[in-house]
Amino acid sequence: MQKFRSLIFLFAVLGVVGLLSTAALAQPLSFIDCDDGSDNFDCAASTGGTLTWDIIASPSVLNPITAQDTASGDVLDHVFGVAATASTATIDSGIFGTGAQGLIPRAASVIEVNAEGTVISYTLRDGMVYQDGSTPSTDDILYWYHDVVFNPNLPNSVSSVVCSDGEPYVYEATSATTWTVTCSAPFRTYTGSVGGGVVISKQMALDLIDVQGIATEDGVNGPRAIQEFLGLGVDISLLTGTLGPFTMTEFVSDQIARYTRNDNFYGVDGNGNTLPYANNLELIIIPTNGQNLSLSNFLNGQTDWFGPRPADLAPVLSQAGAGFLVNGDIDNATPANGEVFTTPNFDDPDLNLQAAARNLNVRRALSLSLDRTAAVFNVLLGIGTPQYTMATLGGNAGANFFLGRNNTCDTFINAGLATADNCVGGTWSLDSGLSLSVNRLPDPNSTPEAAQHLGCLVDYDGCVAAAGALLDEAGVVDTDGDGIRNIPANLDADVGNPGGNFEITIVTNSGNTIREAYGEVACASWTVLNISCQTQSKAFSTLVQELLGGTFSGYITIGLTGGDPANGVNVFKCGAALYFWHITCDPSSTSGLTQQDPSSAAVEAGFDEGFAATNVADAQVGFDKEQVAWLQGEPFYHLAVQNALFALRSDRVCNHGRSSDGNSHLKFRVDVAGNEAACTTNN
């Protein structure tokens, strides 16, 4: 799967999505070295059994390219994910320098990058077959990229990814089993992004198009669909031209997805045993009251793992040992990989809210007044940290680029925020009782806005007063004496709004009680500013549709997956697929409502500098500028991020790697004969 940002329906956990041997190029591919062992994974003695878990949202499509939500990805990963061309790892040589992303072979057994970092050559691994027994070729790969990924009828985030100079990739076959991908200029995550491509059968795609009666047009490498051909109504019996470890056998979009083992999968363990270890997977889909039902399913033994909320830890741990066992690292004190935020709509159908969203003083006031301490204490029960920028705090790839990565207690003491008594060893202990790692907070010296935000942690009332002053300065005041601030007419001349009460509705996905509670915190914060605020919930798929269509009115609380900031190329560039706060933004526009606002333009300029860098140090400089611009302009507002919580029945399942959906080919049942002694990694 491509490693770009996706909309998440639940907090992410820290996990290893794939594990590969870097030395073994012999056929088939060895995923685990059984002789040397691994800190994260074991080799099972026997295969068998069923793995069961749930997700709290319905998927939107069954296309790994057009999917822009993790619910779809969770359903698809087992069919497509491990069949990716390559995984990514860190390399310390070449034009990209220390810490750049490199490649670990998967379906492609020979991968070479030229000295200039502009051309990647692939050779398909020998002996591979699709689930239906047919043989992959470069004709499949070129069709997928030429006529699916770059199909103008199928807008997707993958097609948003361009080379550092703005030119698209060029895919060319050099034989039936070899091909190259060319970019006119190198960039640091080039190999990782290109290597995320899937390999599927061209014939399968054409069969799906034909069976669904979808009209086609001439493409580069064959007939090209003029609409989505992997929607929720697809005949899943045709999904056999893939290389993944499992085959989907049943799918009801709001109820269940079932899978059986793909006996033709090309992966083995170090003992030569064919993967996957489990015979079956069962994914329960619960889009209504999902988090509560997810807890109940886990405690009742219906599922093998789940992502708990902070409030779930007590019931899980209290029952652990009384009939079942759980892993001891449910909370590893590390922030979840991703971000959660509340976004306005620069194209809001309500012209007053549209004008407010476009006004810098209003945006700054709304963010400044958010009670992030209450979000951590009241919603996350202290198991989390405030969040201020779009850079993820979790995972090495993200935290390595966070603006406050080099903070120490001296950083905060010298800025006048902390003292030697309350900041020791990198931990800042506030009077509120909140204890925070200083390198998970933005650098207070980076911009006055960062220092002001951090000051809210010690003087929240002062920040509310400052937020009120910003609204006053914008002319958003109570003009009719009803206790609600009024958005003045023509607050934005281009919008030409009529004026009226400042009334906000915050919407999030139903069943996600954490986000619903975030909405309550935001409303409580904004009510103090005399803004009318209420909360509402909708189905996740509806929420995503409205978000990406720019049709929602009010504010949406939702999240994005994390990782290397360069993966956000589909988010932070005007006109990109996930530029959701201003979906009509046109990079060629120089005036009017489709022109990019100056704050977002500054964010994009910093992003572009980081994205174009060919080494980590230069990328950090660019992405630091992006985060400074974010703090100054705040197109949308972050509250807090919880720790990466992951609960697993350690008496049932081994090889979790702290990953809810990944590693499905490596997880195995402990209670299958011979496997209990083989499991050493669960704790």
DSSP character at residue 108: E
Is residue 315 one of the residues assigned to a domain? no
- pLDDT at residue 324 in the model: 84
**What residue has token string 């990805």?**
73
- Say if residues 395 and 644 touch (Cβ distance below 8 Å): no
Looking at the predicted structure, is the pLDDT value of residue 396 above 80?
no
- Say if residues 233 and 70 touch (Cβ distance below 8 Å): no
- Say if residues 403 and 373 touch (Cβ distance below 8 Å): no
* Among 68-77, 427-436, 477-486, 645-654, the least confident range: 68-77
Query: Which pLDDT tens digit goes with each residue over 565-586?
Result: 887 888 899 998 889 999 999 9
Q: How many CA atoms lie within 13 A of 531 on its CB side?
A: 28
- In residues, how long is the chain? 683
- pLDDT at residue 92 in the model: 47
21: domain CATH number is 3.90.76.10
Do 256 and 347 have their domain in common? no
Q: Do you find a cis peptide bond into 287, omega within 30 degrees of 0?
A: no
Is residue 213 one of the residues assigned to a domain? yes
- Say if residues 563 and 395 touch (Cβ distance below 8 Å): yes
Nearest to 514 by CA among 547, 541, 537, 533: 537
* Among 3-12, 109-118, 256-265, 397-406, the least confident range: 3-12
Looking at the predicted structure, is the pLDDT value of residue 36 above 70?
no
550 residue type, one letter: G
Average of per-residue pLDDT values in the chain: 87
pLDDT band at 164 (very low <50, low <70, confident <90, very high): low
Question: CA 181 to CA 37: how far, in whole Å?
Answer: 35
Do 366 and 229 have their domain in common? no
Do 282 and 350 have their domain in common? no
- Say if residues 394 and 12 touch (Cβ distance below 8 Å): yes
Is residue 439 one of the residues assigned to a domain? yes
| Sign for the pseudo-dihedral over CA of 149, 57, 312, 430 | positive
Encode 288-323: b = buried (16+ Cβ within 10 Å), e = exposed: eebbebbbebbbeeebbbbbbbbbbbeebeeebeee
Percent of all residues in the chain with a pLDDT value above 70, rounded to a whole number: 88
- pLDDT at residue 156 in the model: 75
- pLDDT at residue 185 in the model: 76
Is residue 295 one of the residues assigned to a domain? no
Instruction: Kindly write down the DSSP assignment for every residue of 309-356, as one continuous string.
Output: -GGGHHHHHHHBTTTB-B-TTSEEEEE-SEEEEEE--TT-SSHHHHHH
Three-state SS for 278? coil
Is residue 308 one of the residues assigned to a domain? no
The token pair that represents 241 in the structure block? 């031209």
Number of domains in the chain: 2
Do 234 and 140 have their domain in common? yes
Question: CA 33 to CA 270: how far, in whole Å?
Answer: 5
The mean pLDDT value for 306-326 works out to 87
Query: Which pLDDT tens digit goes with each residue over 348-358?
Result: 999 999 999 99
- pLDDT at residue 11 in the model: 46
The mean pLDDT value for 35-42 works out to 71
Do 504 and 412 have their domain in common? yes
Is residue 540 one of the residues assigned to a domain? yes
Q: Do you find a cis peptide bond into 308, omega within 30 degrees of 0?
A: no
DSSP character at residue 126: T
- pLDDT at residue 17 in the model: 40
The token pair that represents 457 in the structure block? 């942690």
Torsion angle of C-alpha atoms 47, 53, 58, 62, degrees rounded to 10: -10
Is residue 241 one of the residues assigned to a domain? yes
372 vs 95, more confident: 372
Do 403 and 483 have their domain in common? yes
Q: Which structural domain, as residue segments, surrounds residue 532?
A: 343-643
Query: Which pLDDT tens digit goes with each residue over 215-249?
Result: 999 999 999 999 999 988 889 999 999 999 999 99
Do 455 and 538 have their domain in common? yes
Do 30 and 176 have their domain in common? yes
- pLDDT at residue 171 in the model: 80
426: domain CATH number is 3.10.105.10
Do 359 and 464 have their domain in common? yes
For β-strands 435-437 and 29-32, DSSP reports them as unpaired
- Enumerate the H helices of 28-180 as residue ranges: 70-80, 138-144
Query: Which pLDDT tens digit goes with each residue over 67-120?
Result: 878 788 888 888 987 555 665 555 544 666 656 556 667 788 777 778 787 888
Do 347 and 277 have their domain in common? no
- pLDDT at residue 357 in the model: 98
The mean pLDDT value for 31-36 works out to 80
* C-alpha 198 chain-centroid distance: 18
- Enumerate the H helices of 60-101 as residue ranges: 70-80
Do 347 and 283 have their domain in common? no
The mean pLDDT value for 388-408 works out to 85
Burial class of residue 89 (count of CB atoms within 10 Å of its CB; 0-12, 13-18, 19+): middle
Question: CA 253 to CA 539: how far, in whole Å?
Answer: 13
Do 521 and 399 have their domain in common? yes
- pLDDT at residue 402 in the model: 93
Is residue 323 one of the residues assigned to a domain? no
Percent of all residues in the chain with a pLDDT value above 90, rounded to a whole number: 58
- pLDDT at residue 395 in the model: 67
